[in-house]
C-alpha cells in the first residue's frame, strides 16, 4: 500500500487526558527507529501504526501548535475541527480520573455533529475497580459505545483498536489506487505567507500547459498535473496551497496537517522560506517533517527580489547568495543534503530553475547504485580509513541497497556495535562524492552479518 492510502486516525481531547501517552503506545516502536536529529524540536505528533495488518497514520492533534497564539479553548476546538475535516477516524479521549468536564461536553457535542466515525476512549482505567467506578460517568456524554483503556499499560487497547480499524475504508479500494503512476510528485510546503501560492501560480503560469486538475486520492485535495519541459509532473494538494491562507481561525493547525498529508504523498518537497524573515523555527519544523518522512528536498529561498537589506548593509560587498546559503546550511544542518534554490515568485526569477532542482532531487531520490559498484566503493573507503574501536576493527563484509525513495543502504558487518556515528558519516560522504545524491537523504543501516 502506498503511504497516501493509509487511513488517518486523529486523537482529540483536552490537555492531560493522555493523548500523547496513547499515541506513543500505539506507535512507540516505530518512532524509536527514527534517528535523533539535533536542531529540530521533535514533537512526536505524526507517525505510522499497524493493527491486524492494516497500516494507518496516527496524529496527536494536541501536539499541533506551530504558530500558536489562540487561547486554550480555541486550540482544543481547532484541533477537533481539523480532525473532523481531515481524518478517517476520530479518537476522542476522556480522562476518567477527573470525571467529565465542561470542555469534554463541548467537544463531545462538536464531534457528534460530524459525520466522521468516532471511537470514544475512557482513559486511565488501569484496573477493574476503576472501570467499575469511573466509566459509567463517561456514558453520560451520550455515546452508545465507550472503550475503557489504560494508555499507560495498554489495558483494553485491543478492543479499541479493533473498533478503529473497523471504521477504515475497504481495502480493495486502496489496492485500486495503488496502481500509481511514475510521475514525479511535488509538494510545496512552508509557513503561511512565505509565497507558496504565488510560487505555484508562477510555475503554472509560466508554462501555461496545465494538463488537467485531477482529484487527489484524499478528500478535497486537488492535485495538478502539468507538463514541464516534456515531462509530466504532479503538484500535490494545490487546493490546500491556495486555501490555507484564506482559512479563518486556526490557520496554523490546518496548514500543518495539510503539509503533513502533502509530504506523505510527495516524492520531493519544495520547502519555501521567506528570505526577508530569514530562517525561522517554523521553517525548521516544517523541514523536520519532510526529513523524518525521508523525502527529497529543495529549500526554496523566496522573495529574493526583496533581498535582505539589513544583512547586506552589515556586510557590504558580500555575495548575498553565499551568505544566505550558509545561513540555511547552519540552521537546517539536519538536512544538509537539501538542495537550494533562490526565487522571486512575483518576478518569476529563478522559478523554473527551482523546479528543475526539485526534479533532479526526485531523480536522485529514486537512484539505485549497482551492487558491485557499491561494494567496491565501500571497500575502497574502508581500506583508505579502516575503523578501529579499542583495538577491534569494524569489518564491512557486504552492502546492499534494498530500497530507494529514499535510497537505503544496508551494511553487513562483523559487529554493528563497532559502527560509530562519525564513521557512518564518513562512509556517507564517500558515497556522496561518487554519486550525485544531492537533494535526497541517504539511509544507512548496519546489520550483523550472518
Is 284 annotated in some ligand binding site?
no
> Which segment (162-170, 299-307, 310-318, 359-367) binds ligand GDP by CB under 6 A?
299-307
- Measured between alpha carbons, how far is residue 166 from residues 92, 161, 162 in Å? 16, 8, 6
Binding mask 244-263 for ligand GDP (x = CB under 6 A): xx------------------
Q: Are 62 and 91 in contact (CB under 8 A)?
A: no
Closest CA to 306 of 353, 343, 280, 360: 343
Binding mask 107-136 for ligand GDP (x = CB under 6 A): ----------------xx-x----------
Binding mask 191-220 for ligand GDP (x = CB under 6 A): -xxxxxxx----------------------
Binding mask 357-396 for ligand GDP (x = CB under 6 A): ----------------------------------------
Is the bond into 308 cis (omega within 30 degrees of 0)?
Answer: no
Among residues 344, 357, 364, 382, which is the contact residue for ligand GDP, using CB under 6 A? Answer: 344
Q: Are 249 and 201 in contact (CB under 8 A)?
A: no
CB of 93 to ligand GDP, least distance (A): 7
> Which segment (9-17, 157-165, 287-295, 403-411) binds ligand GDP by CB under 6 A?
9-17
> Which segment (19-27, 324-332, 369-377, 427-435) binds ligand GDP by CB under 6 A?
19-27
Among residues 207, 280, 346, 352, which is the contact residue for ligand GDP, using CB under 6 A? Answer: 346
| Cα four-point dihedral sign 19, 288, 40, 74 | negative
Closest CA to 151 of 11, 24, 14, 60: 24
> Which segment (98-106, 190-198, 210-218, 334-342) binds ligand GDP by CB under 6 A?
190-198
Is 14 annotated in some ligand binding site?
yes
Q: Are 46 and 288 in contact (CB under 8 A)?
A: no
Is 308 a binding residue for ligand GDP by CB under 6 A? The answer is no
Q: Edge to edge, what strands does the sheet with 339-342 contain?
A: 210-215, 222-228, 231-235, 184-189, 268-274, 296-302, 339-342
* CA–CA separation, 35 and 69 (whole Å): 31
Is 18 annotated in some ligand binding site?
yes
Q: Which three cell numbers stand for residue 192?
A: 503561511
CB of 23 to ligand GDP, least distance (A): 7
Q: Which three cell numbers stand for residue 15?
A: 490537555
- Measured between alpha carbons, how far is residue 415 from residues 182, 379, 387, 394 in Å? 39, 16, 12, 7
Q: List helix spans (H) across 272-350.
A: 281-292, 309-314, 320-331
CB of 202 to ligand GDP, least distance (A): 8
Q: Strand 268-274 relative to strand 296-302: parallel, antiparallel, unpaired?
A: parallel
Residues of this chain that interact with ligand GDP (CB under 6 A) are 13, 15-21, 62, 123-124, 126, 150-152, 190, 192-198, 244-245, 302-303, 305-306, 344-346
Known binding-site residues equal 13-20, 60-64, 123-126, 190-197, 237-241, 302-305
Known binding-site residues for GTP equal 13-20, 60-64, 123-126, 190-197, 237-241, 302-305
Amino acid at each position: 500500500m502506498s503511504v497516501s492510502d493509509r487511513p488517518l486516525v486523529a486523537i482529540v481531547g483536552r490537555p492531560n487526558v493522555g493523548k500523547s501517552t496513547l499515541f506513543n503506545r500505539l506507535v512507540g516502536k516505530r518512532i524509536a527507529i527514527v534517528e535523533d536529529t539535533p536542531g529540530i524540536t521533535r514533537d512526536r505528533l505524526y507517525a505510522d501504526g499497524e493493527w491486524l495488518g492494516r497500516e494507518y497514520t496516527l496524529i496527536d492533534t494536541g501536539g499541533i501548535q506551530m504558530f500558536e497564539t489562540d487561547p486554550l479553548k480555541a486550540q482544543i476546538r481547532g484541533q477537533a475541527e481539523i480532525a473532523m475535516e481531515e481524518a478517517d477516524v476520530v479518537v476522542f479521549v476522556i480522562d476518567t480520573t477527573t470525571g467529565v468536564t465542561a470542555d469534554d461536553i463541548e467537544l463531545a457535542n462538536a464531534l457528534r455533529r460530524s459525520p466522521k466515525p468516532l471511537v470514544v476512549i475512557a482513559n486511565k482505567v488501569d484496573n477493574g475497580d476503576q472501570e467499575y467506578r469511573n466509566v459509567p460517568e463517561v456514558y453520560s456524554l451520550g455515546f452508545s459505545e465507550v472503550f475503557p483503556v489504560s494508555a499507560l499499560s495498554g489495558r483494553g487497547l485491543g478492543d479499541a483498536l479493533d473498533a478503529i480499524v473497523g471504521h477504515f475504508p475497504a481495502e480493495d479500494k486502496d489496492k485500486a489506487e495503488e496502481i500509481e503512476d511514475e510521475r514525479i510528485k511535488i509538494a510545496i510546503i512552508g509557513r503561511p505567507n512565505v509565497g507558496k501560492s504565488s510560487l505555484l501560480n508562477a510555475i503554472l503560469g509560466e508554462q501555461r500547459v496545465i494538463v488537467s486538475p485531477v482529484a487527489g486520492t484524499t478528500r478535497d485535495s486537488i492535485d495538478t498535473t502539468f507538463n514541464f519541459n516534456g515531462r509530466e509532473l504532479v503538484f500535490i494538494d494545490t487546493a490546500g496551497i491556495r486555501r490555507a491562507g484564506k482559512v479563518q481561525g486556526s490557520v496554523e493547525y490546518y496548514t500543518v496537517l495539510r503539509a503533513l498529508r502533502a509530504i506523505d504523498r510527495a516524492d520531493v518537497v519544495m520547502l519555501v522560506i521567506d528570505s526577508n524573515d530569514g530562517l525561522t523555527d517554523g521553517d525548521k519544523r516544517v523541514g523536520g517533517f519532510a526529513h523524518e518522512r525521508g523525502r527529497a528536498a529543495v529549500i526554496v529561498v523566496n522573495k529574493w527580489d526583496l533581498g535582505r537589506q539589513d544583512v547586506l548593509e552589515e556586510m557590504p560587498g558580500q555575495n548575498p547568495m553565499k551568505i544566505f546559503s550558509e545561513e540555511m546550511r547552519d540552521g537546517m544542518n539536519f538536512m544538509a543534503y537539501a538542495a537550494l534554490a533562490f526565487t522571486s515568485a512575483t518576478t518569476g526569477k529563478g522559478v523554473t530553475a527551482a523546479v528543475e532542482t526539485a526534479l533532479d532531487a526526485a531523480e536522485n531520490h529514486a537512484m539505485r547504485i549497482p551492487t558491485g559498484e557499491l561494494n567496491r566503493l565501500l571497500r575502497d573507503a574502508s581500506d583508505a580509513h579502516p575503523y578501529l574501536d579499542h583495538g577491534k576493527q569494524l569489518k564491512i563484509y557486504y552492502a546492499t541497497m534494498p530500497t530507494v525513495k529514499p535510497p537505503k543502504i544496508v551494511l553487513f558487518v562483523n559487529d554493528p556495535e563497532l559502527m560509530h556515528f562519525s564513521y557512518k558519516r564518513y562512509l556517507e560522504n564517500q558515497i556522496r562524492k561518487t554519486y550525485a545524491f544531492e537533494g535526497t537523504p541517504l539511509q544507512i543501516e548496519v546489520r550483523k552479518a550472518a
